[in-house]
Structure 1
Amino acid sequence: MIPARYSATRFPGKLMKDLNGKPVITRTYEATVNTNLFDDVIVVTDSDIIYDEISKIGGHVMMSQKEHECGSDRIAEAVEDLDIDIVINVQGDEPFTEVESLKKLIQVFKEDKEQHVDLASLMVHITDWDEIKNPNTVKVIVDQNNFALYFSRSPIPYPRDETISVNYYKHKGVYAFRKQAILDFYKLPMLSLEASEKIECIRYLEYGKRIKMVETNVQGVEIDTPEDLERAKKLWK
């Protein structure tokens, strides 16, 4: 599922911006389909413009029936009546989604025989301090089994003792859910930590869900700003 909201706060209309001949959302949809990992790939949108664009290329697209605060809510509404077990959420502004990272997420659930994992997500090791400090970069810290402890826009862990060597990880907004986990998310109200940080996956932690983080080396480009779009154009070439 690819949630696709037209009126993004930081970069309105970004999903329909041109990325070397095609809109960003089209590039993302085609890249996801081309992984050949999924029974179906569906764009879920609140926008007639995006709906028409995906329909025009013969893609599978659904229109949200309600207003939603975040992509997970949009997906939950869409999958409620579908006969599925695992849902992968690919962000509409990530046209460089690639096969190996998604395979790793799917493998988490194949290996989770006891069903201890409610959802899985990706993280990338980062070392650039400007990126670590950047509030647009969501950081994650994990326990020894790579279960998420917390997500933040602040640098976590804070380097109180600079002689201690720690790794910093950037959260990539690609999720894999058990269907029940995302339906639970949809029904549970937002609490203060999620509201403060504006990071939707914190809601799962606040309600005791377990998020297995999977490290990937693929950085890609998330298109949050016009500058990101220019970087994406260069990378695409």
Structure 2
Amino acid sequence: MKIISMIPARYSASRFPGKLMQDLGGKSVIRRTYEATVATNLFYDVIVVTDSSIIYNEIVNNGGKAMMSIKEHECGSDRIAEAVENLDIDIVVNVQGDEPFTDKESLEKLIAVFKDDHTKNIDLASLMVHITDEAEINNPNTVKVVVDMFDFALYFSRSPIPYPRDKTVAVKYFKHKGVYAFRKEALLDFYKLPMLTLEASEKLEQLRYLEYGKRIKMVETSVQGVEIDTPEDLERAKKLWK
């Protein structure tokens, strides 16, 4: 089974433009993410795919691998699908460019889903982490996920889900970490499907799969880390890095 990692990287992020080129402990955020992914030694190849010559040069000039996107893309999965269309691979793991704390343990759990799926019933899998901080649960920049009893995703939202109408019920809240693993065929199928209303409303690409009836296997990890969506996240990341 040939497994690669692709890191989609936009320069002009809406909430924090240029965030991937911000300094984190003496290196850019995107370089930290790339090096952390390579260091897991889980992949046949690790490639940053970007629409930015700045990010491309940052990776290539520091000994890494990068590709320039040909088309404009609304989301990272589309960007990766274009990049892998003609590659001889089985599984592609999408690590977000703003995840400098990417760790081996979590990625191993994700890859194991496919190694154990001998009948090839699972098209894609993703990570979630249990959260208890009320501010984080209510933060629209923190994407939440609810799952069924078999850990397949029921819905993703920027709102707190489930809503605590009955506060005596002990529900667990899970944060969706933007790391996905796809069978190549499923990713290419996704690329051909037009965006529908839920994805457009929440600005969450994973909802496209659910809207088209696909199933997403969620894998729980205990590694929290920091995804860098805002300047405040970057400051938290700097403290954690030290």
1:156-175 correspondence to structure 2 within 5 Å = 156-175=161-180
Partner of 2:3: none
Unaligned runs of 5+ in 1: none
Partner of 1:57: 62
Q: Indicate which of 38, 44, 56 corresponds to 2:49.
A: 44
User: What displacement does 1:113 show?
Assistant: 1.1
Partner of 2:102: 97
Is 1:150–2:155 an aligned residue pair? yes
Q: Indicate which of 83, 92, 96 corresponds to 2:88.
A: 83
Partner of 2:72: 67
User: What displacement does 1:115 show?
Assistant: 1.4
* Amino acid aligned to 1:98: D
Is 1:34–2:39 an aligned residue pair? yes
For the residue of structure 2 that corresponds to 1:155, the secondary structure is coil
Q: 2 CA distance for matches of 1:40 and 1:235? A: 28
For the residue of structure 2 that corresponds to 1:131, the secondary structure is helix
Is 1:115–2:120 an aligned residue pair? yes
Please give the TM-score of this superposition, normalised by the length of structure 2. 0.97
Please give the TM-score of this superposition, normalised by the length of structure 1. 0.99
Q: 2 CA distance for matches of 1:108 and 1:230? A: 34
Unaligned runs of 5+ in 2: 1-5
* Amino acid aligned to 2:148: D
Partner of 1:203: 208
Q: 1 CA distance for matches of 2:47 and 2:213? A: 29
Partner of 1:214: 219
The answer on whether the counterparts of 1:35 and 1:98 sit within 8 Å (CA) in structure 2 is: yes
Deviations 1:9-58 (A, max 9, x none): 00000000111111100000000000000000000000010111111111
* Amino acid aligned to 2:163: Y
Q: 2 CA distance for matches of 1:138 and 1:94? A: 14
Q: 1 CA distance for matches of 2:167 and 2:61? A: 54
RMSD of aligned alpha carbons = 0.6
Q: 2 CA distance for matches of 1:193 and 1:228? A: 26
Q: 2 CA distance for matches of 1:19 and 1:66? A: 30
Partner of 2:185: 180
Q: 2 CA distance for matches of 1:50 and 1:83? A: 25
User: What displacement does 1:116 show?
Assistant: 1.5
Q: Percent identity?
A: 81
For the residue of structure 2 that corresponds to 1:33, the secondary structure is helix
